[in-house]
Amino acid sequence: MSAFKDIREYVAIPRLTSLRLSPDGTRLVGVVQSLNPDGKSYGTALWAIPADDSAGRAPYRLTRSAKGEASAEFTGSGDVLFTSRRPDPTVKDSDDEVPALWQLPHTGGESRQVAARPGGIGAVRAAGETVVFASEVLDGEESAEEERRKARKDAGISAILHEGYPVRFWDHDLGPGRPRLFAGRLGEDRLEDVRDLTPDSGEALRETSFELTPDGSTVVTGWRVYLPLGENRSQIVAIDVATGERRTVFADDGFDFYGPKVSPDGTKVACVRERVTAVDVSARMELWIGDLATGEGAAYAPDLFPSAIEWAADSSAVFIAADHRGRRPVFRVPLEGEVTRVTRDDGAYLELNRSADGRYLYALRSAVDSPAVPVRVEPATGELLRLPSPAPEPALPGRLTEVTATADDGQEIRGWLVLPKDASADDPAPFLLWIHGGPIASWNDWSWRWNPWIMAEHGYAVLLPDPCLSTGYGQHMIDRGWANWGPRTMADLDAIVDAALARPEVDSERIAAMGGSYGGYMANWVAGHTDRYKAIVTHASLWALDQFGGTTDGANYWQRELGAPGSELQRQLSPHVSLDKITTPMLVIHGDKDYRVPIGEALRLWWDLQRTGKEAKFLYFPDENHWILKPGNIVAWYETILAFLGHHVLGQEWKRPDCVA
């Protein structure tokens, strides 16, 4: 049976999520996520993957614990550092509630815990003998932190006192600890001479990333500066590991800088520079490269929004993965000269790793029709070698093709069309429009959460369009929809839907639409502006922008584009204004722990539909966030959607799925 037919089989497929190359270039380490024995949750483990396909070598598992492992990082000698909540067998009553730092020797043997903090250990970087890690620390005397955490727990205190913005992020509350960076030196059994590099950081390291220079002497990290009225800017700073002295490298009131990558010669930094938006200033991201010592820099590769950055071995160029017309190729961006495309296929690349000699790039390659697999790319030729993967690649129940259309303003709109294997002019498939989130995003990659192949297995032709605000089509494509979400996006969707429905293997009568996040916003907008669809599914959707604008976790960001809560622009673009025009049956889906689009959006939408007598259902997840992540809930999500579509699109009798009965 196809793994896409039974959702329980689908959620059990292991998936490869990250990739790191060893210093000697002989192996990679990846994190594999797979179903835990209880079938109710996912766990992670580290796997070794050969860096070539010689001698028939196969991937093999490196770690095995009930708590799982993550954040793999190589030391200079080839040992693997990772974080895990597994208990330390050398310590009585070891605290396994927070992740500690572990070391797996390259010579083999058991992993050993080398560092622990009361607030846990997060991201880790190593260079030479230097190791730097992030950890959450309570305000006050650091030496008494463990006791203060225990006292807080024993007293039953969960309250967090905030004195600034933001207070939460995506699916988790911020605080009471604040992130800091710690540095140490690898000893024989432990991380030695551990010291706090950022005792005065406050919230500056919140949701940032950092790198080490190759000699281990300097940390280069994102650094948030908090401004009046709930605003902040992200800078890049350098911190001397020996002294903790900090200096600013990149800063500009009109831009945010993040994701630093240090050149192999230790003299330059590449990062993403993102323009600060306004109602009349659209989002723009670009590659920024500058001198580490002086901070002088420049923008490179216009119209390519970097998703991953890796330096060339000789520090003369940067490789980036960037969205491009429904793909995410790798490009070579020289410090002097023209940008060239390295990969030529339809792949979407991430996790770029350069070999020390510069001959190869290693990466995770996925695509709309392929989950992530490890690959080796030769930049000089573009030659691609698929490496053996620790995760299987399931057979697909259909085929993938492209669709293009011309919008009313002359802009070409393109997208992917997933077709069931048996769809034909004699047996056309019912049609499902699936609108992507973001909105600054693109349908160019495999998604375990939003998987169209499940729908294809159940007979639907699925259109994955890239309307305005999609990345990979130049700045103009984003400008077209900026501060004009609903009307402009719907015109683009109408054009490409018409093109898809004109195909003989697609049924132009049995049609539905769905979307999540911004795609859910558009599903709500579509519901209030057309009756062409038989059913609409809206997940984690924005409904009333005046309400959303002040309750989302990043209100400062959305206010720049849409104005303050209650603004006229918000009212013009809010789907709830068109409630009285909705005639299509709707399935509303939302998780209570969603902080990006708070549950209030779904509750208000559901009540508005109920009080006006609309035909609708509400699938509610008390313990999920913006994404539905637990295996059982994923089953409930897909099976409920399929039942809803089956009833309204296929004319089947309504039957509550057993999983939610």
Assess whether pLDDT exceeds 80 at residue 55.
no
- Closest among 530, 619, 628 to 583, alpha carbons compared: 530
Res. 193 pLDDT band, cuts 50 70 90: very high
CB 117 within 8 A of CB 196: no
Q: What is the pTM of this model?
A: 0.96
Residue 129 has pLDDT above 80, yes or no: yes
Which residues are CB-contacts of 256 (< 8 A; sequence separation ≥ 6)? 233, 234, 273, 274, 276
- Average pLDDT for residues 409-419, to the nearest whole number? 98
The whole-angstrom separation of Cα 476 and Cα 661 is 48
For a pLDDT cut of 70, what percent of the chain falls above it? 99
**Across 138-157, average pLDDT:** 90
Tokens of residue 451, six digits:
């998987």
Q: 203-262 pLDDT, tens per residue?
A: 999 999 999 999 999 999 999 999 999 999 999 999 999 999 999 999 999 999 999 999
Q: Residue 189: what pLDDT?
A: 87
Task: Phi first, then psi: give them for residue 527, nearest 5 degrees.
Answer: -60, -35
Alpha-carbon gap, residue 148 to 621, rounded angstroms: 34
**CA–CA dist 268, 277 (Å, integer):** 27
Which pLDDT does position 319 carry in this prediction? Answer: 98
Give me the pLDDT at residue 94, please: 65
11-28 average pLDDT score: 96
- Residue 388's Cβ-count burial label (10 Å; 0-12, 13-18, 19+) is middle
What residue spans of 235-292 are helical by DSSP H? none
Q: What are phi and psi of 417, to 5 degrees?
A: -120, 115
Per-residue pLDDT reduced to its tens digit, 269-317? 999 999 999 999 999 999 999 999 999 999 999 999 999 999 999 999 9
CA distances from 478 to 45, 301, 441 (A): 39, 17, 10
Q: How far apart are CA 359 and CA 554, in angstroms?
A: 42
pLDDT at 96 over 90: no
CA distance 340 to 333: 7
For residue range 557-606, what is the model confidence (pLDDT) as tens digits? 999 999 998 899 999 999 999 999 999 999 999 999 999 999 999 999 99
pLDDT at 54 over 90: no
pLDDT, position 661: 80
* Residues 384-409 pLDDT 10s: 999 999 999 999 999 999 999 999 99
In the chain, % of residues over pLDDT 90 = 94
For residue 419, pLDDT over 80 is answered with: yes
Q: What pLDDT, on the 0 to 100 scale, is given for residue 474?
A: 96
* Structure-token pair, residue 428: 């056309």
Are 537 and 645 contacting, i.e. CB atoms less than 8 angstroms apart? yes
Residue 92 pLDDT level (bands cut at 50, 70, 90): confident
Residue by residue, DSSP assigns 491-539 as HHHHHHHHHHHTSTTEEEEEEEEEEETHHHHHHHHHHTT----SEEEEE
With b for 16 or more beta-carbon neighbours within 10 A and e for fewer, the 183-199 pattern comes to bbbbeeebbeeeeebbe
Sheet containing 178-186: order of strands: 124-127, 130-137, 178-186, 191-196
Strand stretches in 337-422, DSSP E: 340-341, 348-354, 361-367, 370-378, 383-386, 398-406, 412-420
The answer to whether residue 82 scores a pLDDT higher than 80 is yes
Going by the DSSP 8-state scheme, the letter that residue 277 receives in this structure is P
pLDDT tens digit string along 607-637?
A: 999 999 999 999 999 999 999 999 999 999 9
The predicted pLDDT at position 1 comes to 59
Nearest CA-CA partner of 102 in 42, 46, 147, 37: 46
Summarize the confidence of residues 505-528 as an average pLDDT. 98
What is the DSSP code string of 14-26? -EE---EE-TTSS
Q: Examine the pLDDT at 77 and tell me if it is beyond 70.
A: yes
Give the strand pairing for 506-516 and 586-591: unpaired
Token look-up 């990250």 returns 18
Q: Are 431 and 314 in contact (CB under 8 A)?
A: no
- Residue 95 in this model has a pLDDT that exceeds 70: no
How far apart CA 241 and CA 193 sit, in angstroms, is: 12
Torsions phi, psi of 575, nearest 5? -60, -30
Q: Tell me what the mean pLDDT of segment 456-464 comes to.
A: 98
Residue 291 has a CB neighbour count (10 Å cut-off) of 13
The predicted pLDDT at position 140 comes to 82
Q: What is the mean pLDDT of residues 492-510?
A: 98
The predicted structure's pLDDT at residue 46? 97
Burial of 296 (0-12, 13-18, 19+ CB in 10 A): exposed
Asked whether residue 188 carries a pLDDT value surpassing 90, the answer given is: no
Indicate if the pLDDT at residue 162 is higher than 70: yes
Q: What is the pLDDT of residues 349-380, one digit of tens each?
A: 999 999 999 999 999 999 999 999 999 999 99
- Residue 588: in which H helix or E strand, if any? strand 586-591
Q: In terms of Cα–Cα distance, which of 491, 584, 478 is closest to 538?
A: 584
Residues 426-448 as b/e (b if ≥16 CB within 10 A, e otherwise) read eebbbbbbbbbbebbbbbbbbeb
Q: Which domains does the chain have, with CATH numbers?
A: 398-651 (3.40.50.1820)
For residue 99, which phi and psi values (nearest 5 degrees)? -70, 140
